[in-house]
Structure 1
Amino acid sequence: MSLTLYYTPRSRSFCALWLLEELGLEYKLESFDISAGRHKQADYLLLNPMGKVPLVMDGDIPVSELAAIAIYLSDRYSKERLSPAIRSSERPAYLKWILFSSALMEPAYAEKMFNWEIPARRSIAWSSFDQMLEILTNHIAQNTWVLGDKFSSADVLIGSNLHVGQVVLGIIPKEGPIAEYLLRLTKRDGFIRAMDIEKRESDRFPMKA
């Protein structure tokens, strides 16, 4: 078993957990209570200087940042099941949606949650929450998965963010194309297994008052 996932419940590391379950790989789960500060200890910071989760270890190779984790694991272990081949015509769209999840969705979520006032004349990397959601909704309305008929690890990243946005943050619509897409995702065996683990680990490490 060469893969280890450093994981905390109720965090972005659920996305990496779900990805590993979709890949069907054996892995060791190093789960901890984030309030205990494990991710800020010296040995952990040597592997991920940002001191964040998730972190995947492939043998002695550390892989951090969700987009990098998704690309690395899918290319290395899925035999093109969850990622198009390097020379595939689908590869550019795959990479775009992988990066869309972190480079556009996450800052747009922050804009929405923190009520950032962005002057119309200013150009920002994620444009706006409303435009991000419009672009994603229009795309999903025409496709079963983000690459059309083929499920990929891009769906895990996009879907994980949408799930958090809908269920936890309440900023993603509960009806329409996005809601239907999320319903398809939550019926996948990989998602169900990952959610069972998430619930188990959340019980192990309950939120402190």
Structure 2
Amino acid sequence: MTRIGLTGGIGSGKSTVAAEFVACGAWLVDTDAIARALTEPGGAAIPAVAASFGDDVIDARGALDRDRMRALVFADPDAKRRLEALLHPLIGRVADARAAQSPGLPVVFDVPLLAESAHWRARVDRIVVVDCPETTQVRRVVARSGWTEEAVRRVIAQQATRERRRAIADAVIHNDESMSLPDLRSVARRLWQAWTRASAPPVEQ
């Protein structure tokens, strides 16, 4: 079974590429969605998070207070490491279980922190990175989320650099300002078709 790793910075267009891969026949394992489920009310990670960080990071619904936790990990690198130590093993186990449910389809692991994780890189056969300039990332995220530019840049600073992501890639999709949404989908589709053909070499779009 082909196992493809998909990654990219916030606002890069990674989710659009993931959706196109699914339309082409991929079995998607979205680690961001898994992380959200684990930290929703009743989520498997909530007791450990509350025990480690206190009830202040749990909202009135019993879910992780994402804004408060985001502020905490930005201010304290140790808090970020502690949170990742709690969440990442849980995310990995759920991701493996979901991949095992694939009915013979190629599996795409959508992993925002793939470049930072040797563990994840070792679990996939090929890696595609969706890349764009930081200014484009900021514009897109501000437009869709209402975050301030400063908040977006702080998130970007917490993620791997563009250079680090491109260094691990078997293919890079350049989704800059000149790329339309239909064009992005077309590029993703052509890459998928190339990679799912027998003995197709890695290509860069």
TM-score (normalised: structure 2): 0.31
Q: Which has the higher contact order (CA 8 A, sep 6+)?
A: 2
